[in-house]
Amino acid sequence: MALTDESELDADAQRLAELGYKQDLKRSWSSFSNFAISFSIISILAGCFTNYQAGFNNGGPISISWSWPILSVCILVIGFTMAELVSSYPTSGGIYWWASKLGGARAGFYAGWLNLIGLIAVTAAVAYGCATFIDLTISTWSKGYAGGYSLTRVFVTFVLVLAVIAAVNIFSGHLLAILNNISVWWHVIGAAVIVVLLVVVPSHHQSFSYVFTERYNNSGFSGGSSSSFGFFFLILPLGFLLTQYTITGFDASVHLSEETHSASHGAAKGIWKSIAYSAVGGYILLLAVTFAIPNVKGVPDNAGVGAGGVAYIFTSALGDTKGGLVLFISAAAQVFCATSCMTSASRMLYAFSRDRAVPGSQHWSQLSKSRVPAKGVGLVTAVSVIITLPALIKVDINGAPIPVAFFAVTSIAVIGLYLSFAIPIWLRWRHGENFDLGSWNNGAKYKWMNLLAVAEIIIVSLYLMLPTSPAAIPGHTGFAWKYVNYAPIVTLGALALITIWWQASAKNWFRGPIRTVDEATPVEEGTVAG
**Is residue 19, in this structure, part of any structural domain at all?**
no
- Is the pLDDT at 5 greater than 80, yes or no? no
- When computed from its CA atoms, the radius of gyration of the chain, rounded to whole angstroms, is 23
Parallel/antiparallel/unpaired status of strands 216-217 and 295-296: unpaired
Q: Centre a 10 Å sphere on the Cβ of residue 159 and count the other Cβ atoms it contains.
A: 16
C-beta separation of 250 from 453 below 8 A: no
Cα separation of 144 and 146, whole Å?
A: 6
Q: Each residue of 38-90: pLDDT tens digit?
A: 888 899 999 999 999 999 999 999 999 999 999 999 999 999 999 999 998 88
C-beta separation of 338 from 171 below 8 A: no
Number of structural domains (the chain) is: 1
**Is residue 530, in this structure, part of any structural domain at all?**
no
The pLDDT, as a whole number, for residue 399 is 55
C-beta separation of 470 from 220 below 8 A: yes
**Is residue 188, in this structure, part of any structural domain at all?**
yes
Q: Which range among 24-28, 191-195, 357-361, 450-454 shows the weakest confidence by mean pLDDT?
A: 24-28
Q: How far apart are the first and last CA of the chain?
A: 19
Question: What pLDDT band is residue 449 in, cutting at 50, 70 and 90?
Answer: very high
The pLDDT, as a whole number, for residue 9 is 47
The pLDDT, as a whole number, for residue 62 is 96
At residue 484, the 3 state secondary structure works out as coil
CA-wise closest residue to 27 among 200, 258, 242: 258
Cα separation of 175 and 347, whole Å?
A: 16
C-beta separation of 368 from 377 below 8 A: no
The pLDDT, as a whole number, for residue 288 is 97
C-beta separation of 418 from 457 below 8 A: yes
356: left (phi over 0), alpha (psi -120 to 50) or beta: left
Q: Give backbone dihedrals phi and psi of 58, rounded to 5 degrees, phi first.
A: -110, 65
Supply the mean pLDDT for the chain: 87
Parallel/antiparallel/unpaired status of strands 216-217 and 58-59: antiparallel
**Is residue 324, in this structure, part of any structural domain at all?**
yes
- Residue 250 is inside which H or E element, if any? none
C-beta separation of 46 from 333 below 8 A: yes
DSSP string, 285-298: HHHHHHHTPPEETT
Q: What is the CATH number of the domain that holds 345?
A: 1.20.1740.10
Q: Each residue of 399-435: pLDDT tens digit?
A: 556 677 888 899 999 999 999 999 999 999 999 999 9
Range of the domain at 315: 37-501
Overall average pLDDT of the 187-201 stretch: 96
- Is the pLDDT at 496 greater than 90, yes or no? yes
- Is the pLDDT at 1 greater than 50, yes or no? no
Q: Give backbone dihedrals phi and psi of 290, rounded to 5 degrees, phi first.
A: -70, -40
What are the C-alpha distances in Å from 136 to residues 149, 172, 313, 399, 498? 8, 30, 13, 19, 39
59 pairs with which residues across the strands?
216
pLDDT more than 70, % of the chain: 92
**Is residue 492, in this structure, part of any structural domain at all?**
yes
Q: Centre a 10 Å sphere on the Cβ of residue 380 and count the other Cβ atoms it contains.
A: 28
Residue 273 CA, distance from chain mean position: 16
DSSP string, 398-412: TTEE--HHHHHHHHH
**Is residue 517, in this structure, part of any structural domain at all?**
no
Cα separation of 75 and 277, whole Å?
A: 12
**Is residue 337, in this structure, part of any structural domain at all?**
yes
Cα separation of 41 and 252, whole Å?
A: 8
At residue 203, the 3 state secondary structure works out as coil
* H helices present in 355-442, as ranges: 361-364, 374-387, 404-431
C-beta separation of 420 from 498 below 8 A: no
- Is the pLDDT at 530 greater than 60, yes or no? no
Q: State the DSSP code for 504.
A: I
At residue 383, the 3 state secondary structure works out as helix
- Is the pLDDT at 528 greater than 70, yes or no? no
Q: Centre a 10 Å sphere on the Cβ of residue 3 and count the other Cβ atoms it contains.
A: 10
**Is residue 514, in this structure, part of any structural domain at all?**
no
Q: Centre a 10 Å sphere on the Cβ of residue 412 and count the other Cβ atoms it contains.
A: 28
C-beta separation of 392 from 153 below 8 A: no
Amino acid (1-letter code) at residue 344: S
112 pairs with which residues across the strands?
none
Question: What pLDDT band is residue 28 in, cutting at 50, 70 and 90?
Answer: low
